[in-house]
Amino acid sequence: MLLACEKATFGYENKAVISDVNFQVEPGEYLCIVGENGTGKSTLVKGLLGLIKPMSGKIVYGEAVKNASIGYLPQQTDAQKEFPATVMEVVLSGVLKQKGFLSFYNKADKEKALVNMRKLGVERLKKESFRNLSGGQQQRVLIARALCAADQLLVLDEPVTGLDPAGTADLYSVMRELNEKYGTAIIMVSHDVRGSLPEVKRVLHISFDTIFYGTVQEYQNSSFGKQFLGGARK
Amino acid sequence: MISIFREMLAYPFLVRALIVGVLVSLCAALLGVSLVLKRYSMIGDGLSHVSFGALSVAMALGMAPLKLSLPVVVIVAVVLLRVGSGRMKSDAAIAVISSSSLAIGVIVTSLTTGMTVDVCGYMFGSLLAMSKDDVVLSIILSIFVIMVFILCYNRLFAVTFDESFAKASGSNVSVYNMLLAILTAVTIVLGMQMMGALLISSLIIFPALTSMRLFGSFRAVVISSAVVSLICFFIGIVISYQYSTPTGASVVGVNLVVLLIATVIGKIGKGSLV
């Protein structure tokens, strides 16, 4: 087991935003978190990353993700799109996680960055400037950075938002390869329910009053999933 | 230009101005890259006005200007960073603080010494402003700023590029933001007497903007900022000496020309130099 949420409740200043979340992430898992805006997906992600403590219940981390070492892909900011930095500089910054206050990169760090760039197919871009890349390439670079921080479990926040259809399909296939070939467990928050369902193994659907957790098959057959998928079609 | 330069070195006050100017330009350029990219440019501007207010009060009280303005500006920098996330929007907070300190400064000055040439110097910069004590303090503090910047370079990059990721990676983001604000405050106080309250923030902003037009890697932008900043400072100070123009204004003028040239080059080369 990599991570388990046991009746965890998260919120701010004593106000619960999302309550009683139960789910488990095994090695090789591919979990998609869906739900309307304002249901607490981002809050849950912060909880998983250890940025906020559960108000009740708990999160148990497995041996492989001790110290909450989870690779994270945040939602992109506008400032980043114009940022002068090479792909290498961006990916390398992922290794800082394991370092102390004063941190310089050594040879092993650079090797690690290259390995992860190779996994994401962006090695040839290593000297390119991040701002000159396409949206999809930028996401690949940021996932490579996340892998430098931790390669057992990735948390991806809206990875395909803002990408064109080709870029979206491309990014899904990259993530599938990471999951299948390298066994990286992935937790993905997504608005793109239709696109992501065929990709993932399990679904955590958060709505204002209930939480569904189960396999994709179960989700599609549940009244809950049918309603949401039907709703999404309009 | 070299002969003018040699002539300048004969005056002790000009040598002092050169030493401080070089160090402050370096600090400002290094910090500027992070500040501009984090959209904190206005903080520098606000702090310079606070520095002016503090300086005027110090003069009125007969204190050494740096001893009062340094702690005041550092405190305001920390406060500004705090309110940025609070109820008052940070740009409004900066506007309020900067214009109030300017007002306090001007009122205090006109009630005591009166609006003299000194005040004009504080506004737009003067070569004559640096005393020996100022120079020693400037050297110590700028070396401190440069050392901290180099030691924390990778972390500062990570925090500048992506705060959320840095936070999730266990970096204490607020500590680095605070560090950045404090270093900026120190740099501004040091540079203000020579560059002027109204113009010191441009020392932070221009070289970074110029370099971002030309280069696509963070390291190249940082190095180029330092170089651009130094070159513009030297040209500016020679102009200031030769034509008796205010130092700050002359340096900013040169920076502006360089920025325009860089923008044109960047448009042609599409910023693809790494």
Sketch out chain A's domains with CATH numbers. 1-70+152-223 (3.40.50.300), 78-149 (no CATH)
Cα pseudo-dihedral B197, B140, B208, A105, rounded to 10:
-150
pLDDT reported for residue B116: 66
Q: Which residue has the higher pLDDT, B85 or A151?
A: A151
**Alpha carbon separation from A6 to A49, A79, B26, B103, B199 (Å, rounded):** 15, 37, 53, 58, 57
Instruction: Record the tokens describing residue A122, joined without a space.
Output: 């962006």
Which burial class, exposed, middle or buried, applies to B174 when counting CB atoms under 10 A from its CB (0-12, 13-18, 19+)?
A: middle
B117: in domain? yes
Residues of chain A contacting B167 with CB distance shorter than 8 Å: 51
B251: in domain? yes
Q: Which residue has the higher pLDDT, A234 or A204?
A: A204
pLDDT reported for residue B211: 95
**Alpha carbon separation from B82 to A53, B77, B86, B101 (Å, rounded):** 22, 9, 7, 18
Q: Do B220 and A85 touch (CB under 8 A)?
A: no
pLDDT reported for residue A1: 82
| 127-146 of A, contacting B, C-beta below 8 A | 127-132, 142, 145-146
Indicate the pLDDT class of residue B87, thresholds 50, 70 and 90. low
pLDDT digits (tens, 9 = 90+) for B94-117: 888 889 998 998 888 888 877 666
Report the residue of B33, B152, B161 to disrupt the A interface, i.e. the one with the largest count of A CBs within 10 Å: B161
ipTM confidence score: 0.85
Q: Do A84 and B217 touch (CB under 8 A)?
A: yes
- CA nearest to A95 within chain B: B169
The rounded percent of chain B whose pLDDT value lies above 70 is 92
Please, what is the average pLDDT of chain A? 85
Q: Which residue has the higher pLDDT, B45 or B220?
A: B220
Compare CB distances from B169 to A86, A97, A102 and report the shortest one's residue: A97
Range from A94-103, B41-50, B221-230 that averages highest in pLDDT:
B221-230
Q: Do B158 and A75 touch (CB under 8 A)?
A: no
pLDDT digits (tens, 9 = 90+) for B134-186: 788 888 988 998 998 998 899 889 989 998 888 888 778 888 888 888 889 98
> What CA–CA distance (Å, rounded) separates A150 from B168?
11
pLDDT digits (tens, 9 = 90+) for A111-120: 989 999 998 8
The rounded percent of chain A whose pLDDT value lies above 90 is 20
pLDDT reported for residue B86: 52
The answer to whether B215 faces chain A, any CB pair under 8 Å, is yes
Which burial class, exposed, middle or buried, applies to A173 when counting CB atoms under 10 A from its CB (0-12, 13-18, 19+)?
A: exposed
Indicate the pLDDT class of residue B272, thresholds 50, 70 and 90. low
- Is pLDDT of B30 > 70? yes
| Over residues A8-35, mean pLDDT | 87
- CA nearest to A51 within chain B: B168
- Is pLDDT of A105 > 90? no
The answer to whether A105 faces chain B, any CB pair under 8 Å, is yes
Compare CB distances from B167 to A51, A84, A89 and report the shortest one's residue: A51
Q: Do B168 and A74 touch (CB under 8 A)?
A: yes
Amino acid at B210: T
Please, what is the average pLDDT of chain B? 85
Instruction: Record the tokens describing residue B139, joined without a space.
Output: 């050297």
| 64-83 of A, contacting B, C-beta below 8 A | 70, 72-75, 77, 79-80, 83
pLDDT digits (tens, 9 = 90+) for A159-213: 888 888 888 999 999 999 999 998 889 999 988 888 888 888 998 988 887 888 8
pLDDT reported for residue A233: 46
pLDDT reported for residue B17: 85
Nearest to B262 by CA among B232, B219, B218, B234: B232
B149: distance to nearest CA of chain A, Å?
11
- In this structure, the number of other CB atoms found within 10 A of the CB of residue A160 comes to 24
> What CA–CA distance (Å, rounded) separates B167 from A213?
28
B188: distance to nearest CA of chain A, Å?
25
Report the residue of B162, B172, B179 to disrupt the A interface, i.e. the one with the largest count of A CBs within 10 Å: B162
Indicate the pLDDT class of residue B62, thresholds 50, 70 and 90. confident
Q: Do A83 and B170 touch (CB under 8 A)?
A: no
Q: How many domains is chain B partitioned into structurally? A: 1
- Is pLDDT of A52 > 50? yes
Compare CB distances from B216 to A72, A84, A101 and report the shortest one's residue: A84
Q: What is the CATH number of the domain that holds B25?
A: 1.10.3470.10
Least confident of A89-93, B96-100, B116-120, B207-211: B116-120
Q: Which residue has the higher pLDDT, B225 or B44?
A: B225
The answer to whether B272 faces chain A, any CB pair under 8 Å, is yes
| Over residues A76-91, mean pLDDT | 87
> What CA–CA distance (Å, rounded) separates B161 from B43?
18
Write out the residue range of the structural domain in which residue B225 sits: 2-269
| Over residues B221-247, mean pLDDT | 92
pLDDT reported for residue A234: 39
pLDDT reported for residue A172: 92
Q: Do B161 and A90 touch (CB under 8 A)?
A: yes
- CA nearest to B215 within chain A: A84
Q: Which residue has the higher pLDDT, B170 or B228?
A: B228
> What CA–CA distance (Å, rounded) separates A188 from A182?
17
Least confident of A15-24, A102-111, A118-127, B118-127: B118-127
pLDDT reported for residue B120: 73
Torsion region of A138: left, alpha or beta (phi above 0 gives left; psi -120 to 50 gives alpha): alpha
| Over residues B210-222, mean pLDDT | 93
Report the residue of A88, A93, A95 to disrupt the B interface, i.e. the one with the largest count of B CBs within 10 Å: A93
B274: in domain? no
